[in-house]
Amino acid sequence: MTKSRSSVMIMAISVFFTISIAYFVFTDEISAQSEEKSFLTHSGSVIRTSGEILDPLYTSATMEFDPMDYLRNFDYGKISTLPDGTTLREYTIVAEDDKVMEISPGIFYNVWTYNGSVPGPTIRATEGDTVRINFTNNGSKEHTIHFHGIHPSEMDGVFEPVGGNGGKFTYEFEAGPVGVHPYHCHIMPLEEHIVHGLYGVFIVDPKEGRASADEMVMVLNGFDTDFDTENNFYAANTIPFYYQHHPIQINTDELIRIYVVNMVEFDPINNFHLHANLYEYYPTGTDTIPSFYTDMITLSQTERGIMEFSYQYPGNYLFHAHKVEFSEKGWVGIFQAHENKEQKIEEVEYGR
């Protein structure tokens, strides 16, 4: 009787201690997980986090980006014909500066976006078309869109800051010259507005078109996630290593055309090396005759051009920055070439 009573007592005490320990352990863990902290970014925005600076809580402002979707996505605008018979292309671009994107697993960064994306949409028009951009700034700061190309001063997106919280401006100009051009915000401090993601690509096609090809856009970009004016990550199209883990599918004997734009800040140069092949290179895409036949180009800030090539043999082919630091921090990808017996490559020429 005494023995069983003491057993019950021991059991009761054990249960009490187990519950107490569990209470302290779990409540501690629960409070650690649910504890939210505010983090002030150098851009002045406040991000709520679960305690780790690089681990903000997902919110409605968390943005998703699909580099495979971006790669071959061109925005030709809403097309209509003007009274003089020329083509009008209208685009809507909305700027925001409160989005958070997981640019690498566990690395969250406050991105500033055109149409909710970094880079913004690839605007595409034909030489001589009227381009009309209906711009709304839904950010908290002033922003603009500065297009590279030829246009009147007041359409340059420099001296007409567009106020936040719904400010509007209509950019209108004739598309030209033929080529591939960047567009980006031009509010000071410029570096801050660009590196957060306010940039995109503007393609002007020649009236006679180009030879049919599998066309892609690659924006070479980087992210300074610890705000020390040095990039921590590099990429072709925003997400480090994306095209290495998700190779770009292409066909052999098919012309590949890449519109490449270097938007990396802080580092004076970037470059593009293609494996087991060479490409025709048209700097800025303005000429109809390629300037180089090479496997390596070097690009400074906003330098860009058009690359054309095809693969003869099926297989996996790397492309990457030959500045090894950049490729080791994400600027690397793979083309996976598949046998293509039906479609033979066509000569690249204009006027067809």
Give the footprint of Cu ion on this chain (CB under 5 A): 143, 185, 187, 193, 198
Q: Give the nearest distance from C-beta 108 to Cu ion in angstroms.
A: 20
Omega within 30 of 0 (cis) for the link into 268: no
* Between 202 and 259, CB nearer to Cu ion: 202
What gap in Å lies between CA 327 and CA 265, rounded to an integer? 16
Q: Give the nearest distance from C-beta 131 to Cu ion in angstroms.
A: 20
Q: Give the nearest distance from C-beta 143 to Cu ion in angstroms.
A: 3
* Between 171 and 281, CB nearer to Cu ion: 171
Q: Give the nearest distance from C-beta 332 to Cu ion in angstroms.
A: 29
Q: Give the nearest distance from C-beta 264 to Cu ion in angstroms.
A: 18
What gap in Å lies between CA 139 and CA 164, rounded to an integer? 5
Burial 196-235 (b: 16+ CB within 10 A, else e): bbbbbbbbbbbeeebeebbbbbbbbbbbbbeeeeebbbbb
Which among 185, 180, 187 has a CA at the least distance from the CA of 216? 180
What gap in Å lies between CA 245 and CA 180, rounded to an integer? 27
* Between 198 and 204, CB nearer to Cu ion: 198
What gap in Å lies between CA 45 and CA 43, rounded to an integer? 6
Please say whether the beta carbons of 240 and 104 come within 8 A. Answer: yes
DSSP code for 350: S
* Between 112 and 281, CB nearer to Cu ion: 112
Instruction: Dig out the tokens for 1 from the structure.
Output: 């009787």
* Between 182 and 285, CB nearer to Cu ion: 182
* Between 181 and 196, CB nearer to Cu ion: 196
Instruction: Dig out the tokens for 238 from the structure.
Output: 């925003």
Please say whether the beta carbons of 134 and 90 come within 8 A. Answer: yes
* Between 198 and 263, CB nearer to Cu ion: 198
Q: Give the nearest distance from C-beta 45 to Cu ion in angstroms.
A: 13
- Which residues fall within 8 angstroms of residue 82, CB to CB, at 6 or more apart? 88, 130
Q: Give the nearest distance from C-beta 198 to Cu ion in angstroms.
A: 5
